[in-house]
Homo-oligomer: A and B are copies of this chain.
Amino acid sequence: MDAQIDEILRKNQLSVTGSRKRILELFLMSNGALAHGDIEKKTGEKFDRVTVYRTLQTFLEKGIIHNIPTADNSVLYALCKDDCSEGHHHDNHVHFICSECGKTICLADVTVPEVKLPGGFLPHEYQMVVTGLCKECR
């Protein structure tokens, strides 16, 4: 795990620092989406709030994580797949939001279907969000 973290950071030309390692570790462990608040809690507020903001921003720019839309418009981040390059996400799986427990789940196996757009539109990224009840809450 530790080696994996280092590799991800180095591959993106980022210096390996404590906060980056820890936050990246959280994403690898959680296997889901994290909010800014989650990260603060899970690190035990060991890092400055500002550092968390900047680290997330950096990860976003490098394409290590992406942000995902949620039902209540809070800000959630999730790990990108390996084939995300800088500024270019191929993260077109479906996100499921449970309206009961509020959890956001990445349905990695469900790919976003292609849609035909009216002429003139130049699509760049597709996102799909399904809301409903998850396994536990139904």
Interface size on A, residues (CB 8 A): 37
Indicate with 1 or 0, residue by residue over A106-138, a CB within 8 angstroms of chain B CB atoms: 010110110111101111111111111111001
How many copies of this kind of chain does the complex include? Answer: 2
Instruction: Find A125's partner among B116, B131, B138 (CB 8 Å cutoff).
Output: B131
The smallest C-beta distance from A119 to any residue of chain B, in angstroms, reads: 8
Knowing A127-B128, A128-B127, A128-B128 are in contact, say whether A134-B120 is a contact too (CB < 8 A): yes
The smallest C-beta distance from A16 to any residue of chain B, in angstroms, reads: 28
One of A2-10, A24-32, A66-74, A78-86 at the interface: A66-74
Asked if B125 contacts A130 (CB within 8 A), the reply is: yes
Knowing A69-B69, A73-B69, A110-B116 are in contact, say whether A133-B138 is a contact too (CB < 8 A): no
Q: Which residues of B contact A73 (CB under 8 A)?
A: 67, 69-70, 73-75
Asked if B109 contacts A135 (CB within 8 A), the reply is: no
